[in-house]
Each structure stands twice: as structure tokens, then as C-alpha cells.
Amino acid sequence: MAVKTCLMIGASGMAGGWIQRMTQQLGDRIQIVGLVDVNEEVLAAQGAKLGLRSDQLFADYQEACATVQADFCGIATPPQFHSPQAIAALEAGMPVICEKPIADTLAAAKAMAAKAEETGLPCAIIQNYRYAPNKQEVVRIREEKRLGRLQHIFGRYACDYRQYKSWGKEWRHDMDFSLLFEGSVHHFDMMRFLAGGDCEVLQGFGWNPAWSSFKHYSSGFYLMRMDNGVHTAYEGNSSAAGITSCWQREYYRLEFEEGTVEIGEGDEVRIYRVGHEVEVYAAPAMERAGHDYLFKEFVDWLEGSRASATRIEDNLQSFALVIAAMETTVDGQPKRIADYL
């Protein structure tokens, strides 16, 4: 397999994690040949680690897209920059893999998806929480009908971010709808994945407790009815002070025709059946998980394998849920997802 070259937009924070994974876990398949960041110190330091020349380092993504010839472009920047950066890369002939959410607005997300369709180039969105052993096992249970038909799902995310900047960056505490755009975007996508369907109707409420470190809505309850008859309920809380279900430890309970499945922290799967002892076991291990799975899947796609499951055309469904949740929070009215797509 030929090594795929990458223009990487973003060099610190989440982007730094991308770079580490690309170079360490997939260094035999990915080579970063250009790097973009607006912070000159970060750019220089990360460029030195990668052994890049000065003419491979850029402060401006448009200049980088016009200059660097790469097999694909990776984008890990704040949401408001995703769409213009992805469009520039696609117009330059580079497939794109981009951090979630797709963008900061539905119009920007649709523009990005339209450019991918126009160019015919692969474009995938990171939804790494799908690719954990316990989540994959739950989907197998559903698909194999081990417990019959699926009735409904409850999901819970709760982190203690009561202190300002405890969620890594100031902007996460200062932005509008931080719960939805930075947190629930993962969990709504997970509800689709676990349910095996797309949302028809969403309704819910959001709020910001008086003791919150956030300037805007940081907690919420949201209900969804899927197109396959499954219903879901979601609790999001960025000001949790007791029982937490934070990143990598989110709690999901699936109610089936013949039993209940629970997953949370670690790879443990718990199955409950009335009149039976609780069945507890570790989900089968995965060769690659999380971001590593998605990067490999994307490179495989570039080499002719099947398209990434989280390609932008599909992930628009998950992003529409974020926008619908934002709007139902404001007006309290149920939202039909088809109206957004």
C-alpha cells in the first residue's frame, strides 16, 4: 500500500492528537507533508517534530491548499472554520476528513456537503465514539436479534465542568449551545448508530443552571422518534456534581423485547432478563478503535474500499439533530428532521 500524504489544518489541541495518531498508529500509511496553524509558536514546534521545512508550514489555509499537493486534507479546528477550509481543500482536489461537528451552521454544513458531491471526492466526519468495543457489541446484539426487537434507548452524558476552562478551552464555556455542538453531536450520532435508524421527530428542553460555568445552555433533555419505530431519550449535563458519565464513560440502556442491555465505562456489557441472572461479559476487542479506526477506514476508502460509514452525506443526519435540538430548546416545539434536510 502506498503512503498517503496529508495536508493537516490545525496543529494543537485535538489536532495535536490527530497528528500523534497519524504518525504513530498509522505512520506506515500516512505522511503529513503540510501543516497549517494560526499560532506561529505551535506551528513551528509541531513542524519541527514532523521534520517539515519552513515552506511546508502555513498560517493561512487558503495558501496551503493552493500550494501543497497532498492525497487528502485533515481538518481539526473550531467548528466555524470547518466548512470554508474543507471547501478550499476539495476545490484543490483533496479528499477531506474533518473533526465533528460538520460546521457551525446548517447552511455551512450543506455547503460543505454540496462541494463534496460536486467534486465527487471523499469527505468523512469524525464520529469516533461509534468505534468502541461495547458500542459495536450492542449493535451486533440488535442486528442478530439476540434479545428480539429493540423498543427504546436511554443515553446519559454528565461531566463536571463547573469550573471555568475545565472543558479544555475557554471558547467551549463561552459559545452558544456548547452542550449540543461540543457534546451532544457525539451522542445524537450514537443514538442513530445504536437504534439503527434516522430520527423523524425531535423535541426537548435546554437550560443553564445558576451555578454553571457556561454563558449559555449547558444542560438538556431531548426525545427522538426514529424512522424504524425505536424511541430514544437523552440527558446531557455539563454541570454534574455527583454521578458522572463523562467522556468514554457515557451510559446507554437499551430496552429490547426479551431483555435489557447496559453499557458504560470500559468494555463491560450487562444483559438483564426477567427471571435470569445478570449476564456480564467484556465486549470483543477491536484491532483498532476510535480515531485510529476512522483514519484507517478513510485511507482504505481512498484506496478503493467501501466509503466511510461517517461520510458527510450520512453525518448530515446527525448534524441536523444538533440544529433541531437548538431550535426546540428556544421555542419548545417538536422538529421534523426532514424539514432540515
Per-residue pLDDT tens, the chain, 341 aa: give them: 689 999 999 998 889 999 999 999 998 999 999 999 999 999 999 999 999 999 999 999 999 999 999 999 999 998 999 999 999 999 999 999 999 999 999 999 999 999 999 999 999 999 999 999 999 999 999 999 999 999 999 999 999 999 999 998 898 999 999 999 999 999 999 999 999 999 999 999 999 999 999 999 999 999 999 999 999 999 999 999 999 999 999 999 999 999 999 999 999 999 999 999 999 999 999 999 999 999 999 999 999 999 999 999 999 999 999 999 999 999 999 999 999 99
Strands (E), the chain: 4-9, 30-36, 57-58, 72-75, 96-98, 123-125, 150-158, 199-207, 219-226, 231-237, 251-256, 259-263, 268-272, 279-282, 335-336
Cβ contact 33:306 at 8 Å: no
Cβ contact 222:204 at 8 Å: yes
pLDDT of residue 13: 87
Distance of alpha carbon 249 from alpha carbon 155, whole angstroms: 11
Distance of alpha carbon 301 from alpha carbon 290, whole angstroms: 17
pLDDT of residue 2: 82
Name the residue among 84, 245, 222, 271 with its Cα closest to residue 157.
245
* Joined grid coordinates for residue 156: 446519559
Q: Is the overall model pTM greater than 0.85, yes or no?
A: yes
Report the SS3 class of residue 169. Answer: coil
Instruction: Please classify residue 187 by burial: count the beta carbons closer than 10 Å to its beta carbon, then call 0-12 exposed, 13-18 middle and 19+ buried.
Output: buried
pLDDT of residue 169: 85
* Model pLDDT for residues 81-120, shown as the tens digit of each residue: 999 999 999 999 999 999 999 999 999 999 999 999 999 9
Distance of alpha carbon 288 from alpha carbon 296, whole angstroms: 8
Other beta carbons within 10 angstroms of residue 1's beta carbon come to 8
pLDDT of residue 259: 98
Distance of alpha carbon 25 from alpha carbon 293, whole angstroms: 10
Q: ω into residue 334 within 30 of 0, thus cis? A: no
Name the residue among 171, 184, 185, 176 with its Cα closest to residue 109.
185
Distance of alpha carbon 94 from alpha carbon 311, whole angstroms: 15
* φ, ψ dihedrals at 311, nearest 5°: -60, 155
Strand 219-226's sheet: what is its strand order? 279-282, 268-272, 259-263, 251-256, 150-158, 231-237, 219-226, 199-207, 335-336
Report the SS3 class of residue 289. Answer: coil
Report the SS3 class of residue 22. Answer: helix
pLDDT of residue 1: 66
Distance of alpha carbon 277 from alpha carbon 271, whole angstroms: 9
